[in-house]
Amino acid sequence: MLLTDIDDRKRAEDALRLNEHDLRLIVDSIPGFVSTANAVGEVELVNRQVLEYFGKTTEELKNWATSDASIRTTFLA
């Protein structure tokens, strides 16, 4: 039973990774800015175009405050 549970979990994790990869490919292929933020305004996901425009990494953008006027007017407005 334990091996079955571990196998099921591994299959589910593999499927999740594949879905996340597919989502990333789709989002990065959109020829415009795509971003998502949580309820408190923290950046959760940005596409390649946003990273290139701002010249920042995903982690740097996640640490940026959404009250920053350049972010608000560029892709959160």
What pLDDT, in 10s, does the model give residues 9-54? 899 999 999 999 999 999 999 999 999 988 888 888 999 999 999 9
Q: What separation in angstroms does the CA of 72 have from each of 42, 44, 48, 49?
A: 12, 15, 18, 16
- Are the beta carbons of 2 and 42 closer than 8 angstroms? no
Higher pLDDT: 1 or 60? It is: 60
- Are the beta carbons of 50 and 75 closer than 8 angstroms? yes
Residues sharing a CB contact under 8 Å with residue 58, sequence separation 6 or more, in sequence order: 46, 51
Q: What is the pTM of this model?
A: 0.65
pLDDT at 22 (0 to 100): 96
Question: Is the confidence at residue 73, as pLDDT, over 70?
Answer: no
Question: Is the confidence at residue 77, as pLDDT, over 50?
Answer: no
